[in-house]
Structure formats: structure tokens, C-alpha cells
Amino acid sequence: MEAAVASALTKEVALKLVSLLSEKHKLSKGLMEDLRFIRTELDMISSARDTHSHLGNPGASASASQAAVSMDEMRDLAHDIEDCIDRFLPCVACEGEASTVLHRMKKAVSSTRSRFAAEIHKLRRRLKDAHERRVNYDVHHHSGGASSSSAASSSPATVADAAESDPVGIEGPKQELVDLLLGSEPGKLSTISIVGFGGSGKTTLARAVYESPGVVQSYPCRAWAMASQHRDPEGLLTAILRQFTADVPPDRSSIKEFLQATRCLIVIDDINKQHWDAIKSILTKETESRIIVTTALQSVANACSSDDGYVYKMSILNAEHSKVLLNKKVFFRGCSPELERGSTAIVEKCDGLPLALVSVAKFLLGENELTGSHCAQVCRSLGHHMEKESDFTKLRQVLVNNYSNLSGYPLRTSLLYTSLFPNGHPIRKNTLIRRWLAEGYVQCQYKRSDLEVADENFRELVDRNIIRPIDASNNAKVKTCKTHGIMHEFILHKSMSDYFITSLHDQNRSNFRHLFIQNPASGSALGLNQHQHQQTSPINNEASNSEKFRARSLTIFGNAGEAASEFYKCKLLRVLDLEECNDLEDDHLKDIHKLWHLKYLSLGGAISDLPRKIDKLHCLETLDLRKTKIEILPVELIGLPHLAHLFGKFKLGTNNLKTSELVKFLPKKSKLKTLAGFIADENPGFLQLMDHMNELKKVKIWCESSSTTDNNSLTHISNAVQKFAQDGMDTTGVRSLSLDFGNSLGDFLGSIQEYCYLSSLKLHGRLNQLPQFITSLCGLTDLCLSSTNLTGSDLSNLCKLRYLLYLKLVEANLGSFIIKKGDFPSLRRLCLVMQVPIAPTIEEGALPYLVSLQLLCEDLVGLSGIKIEYHDCLEEVALDSMVSMKTVEMWETAAKKHPKRPKVTFLKRIDPSETQYTVKYVAADGPAREKKSSIEFNQVQLTQNMSQKKCIIQLGTVNKLNSALKQMIVSEPELSSAGNGVMPPSASIC
């Protein structure tokens, strides 16, 4: 299986072999020859892997089955080679590592040295035997056979959307697109792109719009074409033209003239970039013809609708519509309470994908007596059924296409890796990327960094709608995501079949590369059936003492149970993710230093202290302590030679050490890139060390809030911030600073000199005035100001930031903030979190490139003076999910009148989970508040209108306004700590 083989063939294995071979004079001749042979074989296995694609199609030929068995053998050999090398060469990143390891081997007893040579020789013999078997059985690694090839080449849209002949939940989207099509400006080319995951109903929606009576009447000349049936763009153009008339010759000039002279509607299903590049060349803006395209790629949709177009992103069916669809297909006689429970399990597993719901329904129709327990059993074994049963053929083709069309085995392996997380579990993007890097699943080419390649891989998965963002993403950067539900089921089953991922409770766990533990109560979310999830005692049995684990990662969700004190027996772990582990205690970490290969470590909420020997984790790159209770960080930890990312909120565990003494703890060349973050108090340790962390890119600092804050401490902070910002002048990449000065006054920032470089800046805390250095940050693209108490002219000074792309303001009152014509000429996203429902004044001509506007205040009334027609590029307006329905209606009406038809979306405010200072917004399905009384609405509207006429509100007036609003608005959040106009800590966002 190619994905499992890919897990072993990381670049590190080859680098380790090269490192060993470079010490020629120190190796025996026999060992030298064996290592060279193995190195060559790894290259051959890699080549065979790239040309072999076993997609699990039923009915595969005998030769394909033999090839699969052969690749399984190659996978096991590759894993054994990696395991053998890792045990003797743990860290290839260190210069001279081969010398160090060979020196250690020389110091070892003779039997240990000879055991390594004997194991290498044994692996060589196994490789030769595998070669002979391939020759004897005439095994050739084809590209998966005819059935695989046809499955891979067939279009997902062709087989998926056509399956749904009785659509559910389509009326709203259809009417939206029909209105857009019939209401578009005459004489102006408009392309509507429908984009979404395969099987989500793109073709069904396009067909419904195409056959709508109003569209048929307005566009009597129509054509429908399937792009995937035409490899040649000229063939596609000819197919379109022949549906209009047979009299016009099918050449480009004739087609262009025809479309200019005739009002046409063209639908191109499953379009790709090459087809669009050919088609757009024959279109002109003078035509009244319109085009609808469908695609699974967001980038293609954006390209097709880049010029006066519109992108419609398919949504999954909600639970109500999913059940309606199931009732139509299989539960047409109604559901008993027991059967209702089973249908709920199906709805959750299919995750709103119409094709998945239809496929499961077809399968269930074959049952003599359908029960809820059987439905639940089908859900637990859905991956197995999708692979074997003919009722899932169309769904299987869609999922196989999504997987096999990914660009290369590293990306496919990275996708399979996401199935480690439970279905529906939020995954932080940066966490996932750092884990990919730690596992060696990112292979950079040319002169790019591993991080750049990993980020590109992530974007491709998002572009294909395989994983989808689930956070607010207000600065266009995905922070949290999850895998599409049915795709998660597919890749989890494939991962388990390929010996890639399994539960630690599986009795065959020692053969897998990645292990997880999840509480039984939530195990159903993983879709594990009894065959896949055979229960054993985690590791605590007699056999485990001699059991050799090849696992490279262990991820625990919930309680670890008996395994909490045994995970160190997985000696080759690179990733140990215990962030979601609830019962892990300090004592369980006493042997963690034995995990020499560990690169990524995250700890959970029960940990309050780090073990003394944690500084022995030589290879550690990421240490995440954000969920822990750890307050003091051992100073020795910063001496780890490969530590690049350190997360938490802690102080340095030393006092009264001079800078020269502290620097001794740092490695010769510190690789620390992320320090987020530490508490700055009377101990200036971290602030002094920042000068010597030359690769530092991201810093988060909490200032110790005390009425007796030492002026020297503030000076240290100011100097460290200035040095960090000025060092950035020589860079053009990301350089981020987050500074939380709590109850302290942040005016010490005024001493920072101008002409620094930061790409992102977050400030939380009170300021008397805007620090001048902010407006001089030439590279600043992201800015967040939270609870600063700034108003009026101070905020207006931000307009000097001509290159700013994202601005977030979290303030009690923004009514006196005026954004004038020409201000913020580059800004694309504006997020305003307000406690008083009075929005800033935005004049016509300001924010010319604004794409997203977020107005987050649950008591927002109407449009609040915002005129979205001033912003031609606007694509999204986000509101607090608790706003009144009357306000929602007003915004939706305004959006329909806007040429770009911006989406009106909703964000739900949730309580802080990590600190008392932050409140987070996440995406919501829709408005949560059903209605406000007309009296309440009008009272707040009157207050807002009176305030807006004054334009500038003095802080003393805010106190009175707050008091009045408390009496008027029943749902007003507490303002006890905002009497001076400052956002209370519990209501701020940063």
C-alpha cells in the first residue's frame, strides 16, 4: 500500500544512510556493502511506489493482487530498515551525527556492534529474497489495473451528482442562483461557479437552475457540457456550439461571433483550469451570455469567476434535511423511536453529503427487517461496506478520485494522517503541519523550506474541499479545520487496512506506524468495528515486555488508563500528543527522557511540573504546554539544540543570573522560532535571551500585572520588543509580536523607536495614545488592538498603514472612529468587536478592496450606518449569531441589492477555554436569537441615531450611555468593568 510505504521512505532514512556511508574508513567492508545495497533498494522501492496505486477496487486482476502482496512486503522491509537505522542513528539533523553514533557503537560491547551489522545483513538477504519472488511470479507494478484506472479517470461529478434524482434542501440555493442569473447587469459577462466536495450536489443544483422556468424563458438558447468527457478544449467548444446550431463552423472566431450575437446560457460541469483558459479567450464583456461552471477545486472556481463573477460554495445538508432525504429513500414508512436513533447515527456519519446518504439508503433497502441497532452497526463498519458493496460504487469512485488525484504520495500520506483525529474533531492547522514535519511527511524540493511545502500541501487539501475550515478565519488564514465526515471514514479504513493507523488496544498494534487511544464513550466517532478495534490491555501485559513497537506517533483523546505510564515503551516515537489526555499526571512523565527520537510533545491539563530529565530530549522540536498548569520552565530546556516552537504561559525557572550566565544554556545556534509565550516580570531572563535567539519569528509576552511594576522591567520589555522589531528589517517573512500588558498602562511602548519591521502585531491593554512606532511599521499586514481604550483621532491614525490587509478592533466603543475616503487602501478584512452597538463611520471611497466585514455585537441594530454599496469587492458580512432577526433581515436585504451578493454569515461567541482574557468566535449555522421586541429594537435604534449625529463621543458620555443601555437592553452583557469605556477582560478578543 503506497501510503504505508511512504511513511517509511522519508528523506531522513536516506540521509541517515548517507551519513553512515560517509564514514567509509570507520566501517567494515561487509557492512559498507550491505548499507549501499539497502540504499539502492530504498530508491527502487520508492520508484515502484510512485508507479503503483492500489485503490482497493473489487474485482482486481490476479496480477494486480500479486503486485499488492509484493508492495506489502516492500512496505514491511522499508519499515524494518527505518527501524533498524533509527535505533542506531536517532538524529540526522546534527552535524557529525554518524561519528557520534559510531563512537557510541565502538564503546559498546562487541556483541552490540556485531548485532547491528548482523541485522543490516539480514535485511539485505530479505530484500534479495523479495526480488527473487517478484521474478518467479512475474510481478509487475502496474498503475492499479483497468478498474483502478477507470475509477481514477472518471469524473466525480459525473458519477456523484447524477445519482440524486430527488434532491432535498435545494430550493433555497436554486432560487439564490436564479435570482442572480436573471438579475445580472445586461451586457456584462457573468460567470457563476458552483464549488464543493464531490457528491455534495453541484451538478444537481446546476441542473435545477438550468431547467428553471424563468431561466428557460430568459435564455432560450442553452447548452450543457461535461468537461471531463473532453480532454481537448476544442472538442468541448465544439460540443457546446453544436447544441446551439449545426450551421456555424466549430472554430473559435465563429463561436465568439455567435455568443456575441445571441443571448446564451452555458453550463460546463466539472470544469478544470485548462478548459477554462481555453474558453475564456472566446468570451467578451459585451456579450449577454452567461456561464455556470461546477468544480471541486476552489482555485478553479475563483479563476472562473474572477472577473465580474460569483462563487457559490456548496453547503452540507443540515441534520433536518439529511433525515428528510433518508426518509424519502429508506424510512418512507416512518421511524419508530428505536429506528430513529439508528437514523441519527447515519446522519452523523454521512455528515450532510447527499451521495453518502443515498448510498447508505440503497444498502439498507436490502435488509429484510431494518432496526436502529443494525443502522448503528452499518455506521460502525461503513468503511468496510464502502470498499466491498456495489451500492457504494459511485461514492467509492468519488472518494478514490479525491485521494488518488492528490499531487504525490507525501500529500496522500499527509491526508491519511488526519484520520488519527476523531471524526468531527477540530484540528489546528499549525499543530497538524508541525506534526507532519516531525513525522518526515514533507519533502521539499528546489530551494524551498519544509514549512513552505507543508503549508502548500495543507492549502491543496483545503482547495479540494477535502478538509474544510471551521473557524472564523477573519484574516483569511485557516486556523482550525476538520476532514469531511465521509472522507474521514474512507481514509481511516484505508489507513487501518494499510497498517498505517490503529488503536493502541488493537492486538496487532506493533505492526502499525501510528497509534491512538480514545475513550470508549466516544469511540463510535472513529467508526471502529470489532474487527478493527480488537480489545486488549493497552501495553501492560507480559508479552509487551518483548514486544517491539514500530509506532512513530501516539495520540491520546480522553483517558489513557493503564497506558498512561507505559507509553515510553514505544521507543521510536516522534510525536507524542497528550494535549487531550485528561488523566495524565506528573509522575507518568518520569521516563519520558527515554524517547530519544521525540520531536513533538504536547501535554494536557493535569500536568503541573516537567520532569527533571526532559532536557535529555535531544531531538525535540515542538513543546506545547498551553493546556498545562506549568508556571515555571526549567532554564535547561532552552538548551535543546533543535527546539523551534515553545508554547505556554510560564516564567523562566531561575533568578539573579546575569545575561552571560543565561546565554550558556542556549545552544551554539538557537533554532527557536516561536516563543509564545512567557510572563515578563522582575526577572528579565527571557527578555535578555531574545537578543541571542536569532531565528525568532513569533513572540508572545504577558506583562506581570502589578501596581508596583518595576520601571526597569518595563524598560527591559521595551528594549526587547524594539530589538525584535528592528532585527526584522533584514527580513521579508512573517514576524509576529503579541503583547498583553493587562492592567498595566502600555505607554512604555512610546519609547520604541520608529522604522521597525513586524508583519503581525497584537496589543491587549490600556493605552493613553497610539504608540508612534506602529504607524511606521512598513511591513505590517495584520493588526489587532484589544481593550486599548483608544478612540477618535488615535484610531484614525491607523489609516497611515497603507499596506495593512487585516484590522481587528476589540473595543467597548468605536462610535467616534471615522474612516475617511482613501483610508486603508489595501485593507481586505475588517473585524470590529463592539460592546456598545455603535459602528464606526465609513465614508464612501474608504476601504476600496474590502472583502470581509465582521460586525460582532449581539445588540447591533440594523445596518448601523454601514453602507455596503460603497465596497464593490465585498464578499462576506459576518454578524454575531445573537443579533435580532430584524437586523438579520435588514443585512440580508442589503446584501441582495449588492452587485457581488455578499454572504451574510454568523459567528457564535463561546466562553474562554484557556485564559480569562479571551473570548473566541466560531462559525455558526445561523442566527440563534429568534426575535427581539419592536420596542427594544426601536429604542436602541434611537440611541444609535442620536449618538451617530454627534460623530465623536467623549468618554464621560460613554458612562451615561452604558447606564442607559443597561436599562433598555435586557440581554446586555455585564459592563461593571467597562465603566471607563474599556472592554472588560471577559469580553475581549485577541
Lookup: cell for 156: 466525480
Instruction: Give one DSSP letter per residue of 889-900, joined into a string.
Output: HHHHHHHHHSTT
Backbone region of residue 712 per phi and psi (left: phi > 0; alpha: psi in -120 to 50; beta: other values): alpha
> How far is 193 from 964, CA to CA, in rounded Å?
48
> How far is 305 from 318, CA to CA, in rounded Å?
27
Helix (H) or strand (E) holding 493: helix 485-497
pLDDT band at 414 (very low <50, low <70, confident <90, very high): very high
Amino acid identity for residue 261 in this structure: A
CB burial of 341-351 (b: ≥16 within 10 Å; e: otherwise) equals ebbbbbbbbbb
pLDDT band at 655 (very low <50, low <70, confident <90, very high): low
Q: Rounded mean pLDDT of 898-923?
A: 75
Q: Where exactly are the structural domains of the chain?
A: 2-143, 170-313, 319-396, 406-466+479-494, 499-666+687-696
pLDDT digit string (tens) for 934-944? 445 455 555 55
Flag whether pLDDT at 381 surpasses 80. yes
Question: What does each C-alpha distance from 682 to 635, 712, 714 come to in angstroms?
Answer: 16, 8, 9
> How far is 310 from 193, CA to CA, in rounded Å?
6
Pick 949 or 473 by higher pLDDT. 473
Helix (H) or strand (E) holding 458: helix 450-463
Instruction: Supply the mean pLDDT for the chain.
Output: 79
Between strands 876-880 and 903-910, the pairing is parallel
Between strands 920-924 and 903-910, the pairing is antiparallel
> How far is 49 from 87, CA to CA, in rounded Å?
25
Owner of C-alpha cell 528546489: 446
pLDDT digit string (tens) for 141-159? 544 433 333 333 344 344 4
Pick the CATH number of 499-666+687-696 from 3.30.590, 3.80.10, 2.40.128, 1.10.10: 3.80.10
pLDDT digit string (tens) for 531-549? 344 444 444 455 556 678 8
Pick 870 or 709 by higher pLDDT. 870
Beta strands in 333-479 (DSSP E): 427-428, 467-469
Helix axes 955-968, 934-950, angle to 10 degrees: 170
Pick 152 or 687 by higher pLDDT. 687
pLDDT at 573: 93
Backbone region of residue 789 per phi and psi (left: phi > 0; alpha: psi in -120 to 50; beta: other values): left
The phi, psi pair for 289, rounded to 5°, reads: -70, 155
Question: What does each C-alpha distance from 297 to 196, 446, 491, 611 come to in angstroms?
Answer: 7, 26, 20, 47
> How far is 52 from 152, CA to CA, in rounded Å?
13
Q: Which pTM value belongs to this model? A: 0.86
pLDDT at 36: 80
pLDDT digit string (tens) for 818-840? 999 999 999 999 999 998 899 99
Flag whether pLDDT at 95 surpasses 60. no
Instruction: Give one DSSP letter per residue of 125-146, joined into a string.
Output: HHHHHHHHHHHHTT----SSHH
pLDDT at 183: 79
pLDDT digit string (tens) for 430-449? 999 999 999 988 877 667 88
Q: Helix (H) and strand (E) counts for the chain?
A: 33, 29
Lookup: cell for 670: 538557537
Residues 6+ apart with CB under 8 A from 461: 406, 411, 414, 415, 467
pLDDT band at 122 (very low <50, low <70, confident <90, very high): confident
Closest CA relative to residue 80, chosen from 30, 29, 45:
45
Q: If you compute the radius of gyration of the chain from its CA atoms, what whole number of angstroms results?
A: 31
Helix (H) or strand (E) holding 224: strand 221-226
Flag whether pLDDT at 163 surpasses 60. no
pLDDT digit string (tens) for 550-595? 899 999 998 888 887 778 888 899 999 999 998 888 989 988 998 9
Owner of C-alpha cell 430584524: 886
Amino acid identity for residue 619 in this structure: C
Q: Rounded mean pLDDT of 757-771?
A: 91
Between strands 782-786 and 480-483, the pairing is unpaired
pLDDT at 972: 30
The 3-state secondary structure of 289-328 reads CEEEEEECCHHHHHHHCCCCCEEEECCCCCHHHHHHHHHH
Q: Rounded mean pLDDT of 943-955?
A: 44
Q: Are 947 and 815 in contact (CB under 8 A)?
A: yes
pLDDT at 649: 94
Count of C-beta atoms within a 10 Å radius of residue 610: 23
Flag whether pLDDT at 179 surpasses 50. yes
Q: What is the distance of C-alpha 133 from the center of its chain?
A: 43
> How far is 949 from 944, CA to CA, in rounded Å?
9
pLDDT at 91: 66
Q: Which of 128-132, 423-427, 476-480, 689-693 has the highest mean pLDDT?
A: 423-427
The phi, psi pair for 70, rounded to 5°, reads: -65, -40
pLDDT band at 110 (very low <50, low <70, confident <90, very high): low
The phi, psi pair for 699, rounded to 5°, reads: -135, 135
Q: Rounded mean pLDDT of 289-313?
A: 90
Amino acid identity for residue 491 in this structure: I
Lookup: cell for 456: 502548500
pLDDT digit string (tens) for 46-61? 665 555 544 444 445 5
Between strands 480-483 and 467-469, the pairing is antiparallel
C-beta contacts of 110-114 below 8 A and 24+ residues apart:
none
pLDDT digit string (tens) for 180-227? 888 776 666 678 999 999 989 999 999 999 999 999 999 988 999 999
Flag whether pLDDT at 270 surpasses 60. yes
pLDDT digit string (tens) for 848-898? 999 999 999 999 999 999 999 999 999 999 999 999 999 999 999 999 999
Closest CA relative to residue 880, chosen from 901, 896, 864:
864
Flag whether pLDDT at 526 surpasses 60. no
Percent of the chain with pLDDT over 90: 34
Instruction: Give one DSSP letter per residue of 908-925, joined into a string.
Output: EEE--SS-TT--EEEEES
Count of C-beta atoms within a 10 Å radius of residue 587: 10
pLDDT at 35: 80
Flag whether pLDDT at 957 surpasses 80. no
Amino acid identity for residue 944 in this structure: Q
Residues 6+ apart with CB under 8 A from 980: 789, 955, 959
Between strands 782-786 and 290-295, the pairing is unpaired
Pick the CATH number of 170-313 from 3.40.50.300, 3.30.830.10, 3.90.470.10, 3.60.20.10: 3.40.50.300
Q: Rounded mean pLDDT of 9-19?
A: 63
> How far is 329 from 333, CA to CA, in rounded Å?
10
Residues 6+ apart with CB under 8 A from 249: none
pLDDT at 54: 41
pLDDT at 835: 87
Determine if the peptide bond prior to 605 is cis (ω within 30°): no
Q: What is the distance of C-alpha 6 from the center of its chain?
A: 22
pLDDT at 918: 60
> How far is 234 from 484, CA to CA, in rounded Å?
35
Sign of CA dihedral 105, 106, 108, 109: positive
Q: Are 867 and 842 in contact (CB under 8 A)?
A: yes
Residue 859, helix vs strand vs coil? coil
DSSP 823: -
